[in-house]
Chain A
Amino acid sequence: MGDDKKVDVAAHAAAFLAQDDVHEPMHDKNLWAARMKRDAAAREVPEWETLRELASQIKEHTLTHLYDYLLEFESNAIKRGAKVYWARDAAEHNQHVWNILQEKNISAVIKSKSMLQEECGMTAFLENRGITVTESDLGERIQQLDDQPPSHIVMPAIHKTAEDVAQLFARTIGTDPRNTDPHYLTEAMRDNARRRFLEAGAGMTGANFAIAETGSFVVCTNEGNADIGAAVPPVHIASIGIEKLLPKVKDLGIFIRLLSRSALGTLATQYTSHFSGPRKGGELHIILTDNGRSKRLGMPDFWTSLKCIRCGACMNTCPVYRRSGGLAYGATYSGPIGIILDPTFDESRYSELPYHSSLCGSCTAVCPVKINISDQILQWRKVMAAKKYLPVSRRLAFGAAGKIFEHPQLFRSAETMASGAIRFTPDFLLYNRVLNPWGRHRELPHFAGQTFREWYLQYRAKNNEHGEQRP
């Protein structure tokens, strides 16, 4: 971060689309399948909408009383025998980790997925200091071996085919390059990772939820990798963003019911683990990290993005994300949630992200904690426009999304349009009628203060030289 070079989302997306005619359709299909499973799982819970509303209120309550809940969490965690550290930013977070490892003479760690550690660039920081860091989540490990960041917050390697993984593993862990069977490849990684679990001096995890009432935190995985990391090495280090708090244990009943159903359409993750203090014979270190969260809390239009429980549903449903791939966003967080989080880290660098959306509202419709994601995307466009971080003229009106919707593969898939209302938004065709100025006939989500139409007219007036310029 701090790098002022703008991420060229459209170019990245175009590269993903153009590589062949295998990756993009597969990506689209797999994510849409997750979305459909999510719908089916949600339908099975009669009180689903009530749950979303409750989850949203509990998160808003916690965030508007965060100061007290942080103190409560801290004192309970300390009472339980954990060591609690505070970090203002990524550098401080990483320094804490480094200090703990140095003090214990630890040179190898095994980590389960943590978006916060990703956000802090922790792995590179530790590797530069001679620490061996191994991702234990299979998808994360695939990305680590390929020297790429995760492309999805729940399915980090979803943009890769089994063939890609077979090639990668053949190169890096010596599997048979012709064997693309996911069972074979998973087994190979199981053997490889197990050794590393046994060699590691510390297990690192993130947290899905932290409970003020008891000083506990909860980690959800399907592989059980966080649990092995916490149960085998003597030291457990957990990185927890300050927005992860919930007031009470009973709140988990609501959130656990929502999380995995929203993410993958499963009833829960295979492992839902509750850590309340160090295990017998072990040590527990908790790093409560801000890294921009308190600043976001003070942004009236954007603070509710802190409610996010990282389920990935907004990505799975997003027609732009499904076609562009997550790496196109060039940021830790991709998809609709990334669009509203990333600019809070660096407005200039991520100034094009808000244009990488069809604004169809599907993200808002699926979000289990009812974040008004598409409103916030639009709000970010206003910020970018006001600050003159405008996309270059050739993709101005349609933004990055235009590039994707223009792609011929989409015309092909459009033939199957009847299969779902949101799969291809009615606006899809509008996007492709390239001479139709963006937004003219569109229904857009309401946002406070200024209607889209007003904003658009102002925006056009201000940028008239670009306004009509479409090929």
Chain B
Amino acid sequence: MENNARNQVLAAVERQMPANKTAYPETPDFPRMKTDLLAAFENRVKDAGGEVFRPADAAAAQALLASQYAQAKVICSATPEITGNRDIHAVNNPHDLADVDVGVIRARFGVAENGMVWLTEEDLVVNALGFLSQHLVILLSPQAIVGDMYDAYLRIHLEDTAYGCFMMGPSATADIGAVLVHGAQGARSLNIYLLA
């Protein structure tokens, strides 16, 4: 059945494709964001429901984390700068992350246009860390900000990673009465620590 279905779908597509072909368009050079990228990024993160902090160094970031999540029982960090109490490299099964209160991940870069950060499977170590954690802390180098989505897509290499995600603030929904609620399924909050 399988081969048959494949060949039949492909044959049908080949037969039905419009004879008038449309050319692949040239992408023009779009106007680029010229403002302060970092400031724009920070504002967009806030719009998306996240918060940005600027700890002076890794030790300050560790202290900030401790003060912001004083109640957290399980902190799991996928970064060398921040130490938690659950070793991500010892996790074999994503289910083991079900009780994580705070996940810490370093993003590759941020996007000034919308406040997104780019995270890959390599950064997450175990993908579920980005989604089962109740709260997320994202480390980001303040130098690693691109202007817009065109730049962002020039920067990513989908052939190098099985999973990559542009994350824009915490999980959100407005499915009940059109009221915006954060923490629908994924992270309830997302804090970005700018840390070179």
Contact = CB atoms under 8 A, between A and B. Distances in A.
A290 to B, nearest CB: 5
Contact of B27 (A65, A67, A250, A274): A250
Interface in B147-183: 148-150, 152-154, 156, 158-159, 161-179, 181, 183
Interface stretch (B8-16, B62-70, B79-87): B8-16
Interface string B116-138: 10000100001110111000000
Contact of B92 (A193, A228, A281, A300): A281
Given A61-B22, A64-B21, A232-B131, A295 B28 contact: no
A123 interface: no
A321 interface: no
Contact of A227 (B30, B130, B175, B176): B130
B95 interface: yes
A155 B178 CA distance: 9
Interface in A200-256: 211, 214, 216, 222-225, 227-228, 230-232, 242, 247, 249-250, 252-254, 256
A169 B5 CA distance: 42
Given A87-B5, A142-B175, A211-B158, A190 B184 contact: yes
B159 A186 contact: no
Contact of B2 (A86, A158, A161, A194): A86
B31 A46 contact: yes
Contacts of A39: none
A410 interface: no
B167 A64 contact: no
A47 B29 CA distance: 10
Given A86-B2, A88-B5, A232-B132, A224 B95 contact: no
Contact of A156 (B25, B121, B150, B175): B175
Interface in B13-43: 13-18, 20-25, 27-28, 30-31
A50 B28 contact: yes
B90 interface: no
A63 interface: yes
A54 B98 CA distance: 43
A182 B183 CA distance: 12
A346 to B, nearest CB: 19
A213 to B, nearest CB: 8
Contacts of A80: 162
A86 B20 CA distance: 26
B interface, how many residues as a size bin? 35 or more
A253 B128 contact: no
Given A66-B17, A225-B185, A270-B171, A231 B158 contact: no
A303 interface: yes
Given A162-B176, A190-B183, A268-B166, A64 B18 contact: yes
Given A66-B13, A228-B132, A294-B13, A47 B31 contact: yes
Given A70-B13, A186-B183, A303-B18, A253 B131 contact: no
B162 to A, nearest CB: 4
Contact of B23 (A61, A138, A193): A61
Contact of A275 (B128, B163, B185): B163
Contacts, number: 264
Given A88-B5, A190-B185, A279 B27 contact: no
B55 interface: no
Contacts of B5: 85-88, 92
A257 interface: yes
A231 B130 contact: yes
A271 B175 contact: no
A276 B186 contact: no
Nearest to A211: B158
Interface in A154-191: 155-158, 161-162, 165, 180, 182-183, 185-187, 190
Interface string A110-145: 000000000000000000000000001111001000
A436 to B, nearest CB: 36
Q: Which of A46, A182, A224, A298 has the most CB of B within 10 A?
A: A224
Contact of A298 (B15, B121, B130, B131): B15
A305 interface: no
A432 interface: no
Given A222-B171, A250-B153, A228 B16 contact: no
Given A57-B23, A257-B148, 13 more contacts: A85-B2, A86-B2, A136-B185, A186-B175, A186-B181, A223-B185, A224-B171, A228-B186, A231-B163, A242-B9, A250-B150, A267-B113, A274-B163
Interface of A: 30, 33, 46-47, 50, 53-54, 57-58, 60-61, 63-67, 70-71, 80-81, 85-88, 92, 136-139, 142, 155-158, 161-162, 165, 180, 182-183, 185-187, 190, 193-194, 197-198, 211, 214, 216, 222-225, 227-228, 230-232, 242, 247, 249-250, 252-254, 256-257, 264, 267-281, 288, 290, 294-295, 297-298, 300, 303
6 nearest A-B pairs in the assembled complex, by CB-CB distance:
A224-B186, A298-B16, A162-B177, A294-B12, A139-B175, A231-B127
27 contacts: A50-B28, A58-B24, A63-B17, A67-B10, A70-B13, A81-B162, A86-B9, A88-B8, A92-B5, A138-B176, A157-B176, A165-B176, A190-B185, A214-B159, A222-B173, A224-B131, A227-B130, A231-B127, A232-B128, A247-B24, A271-B166, A271-B186, A272-B166, A273-B164, A279-B121, A294-B9, A295-B12
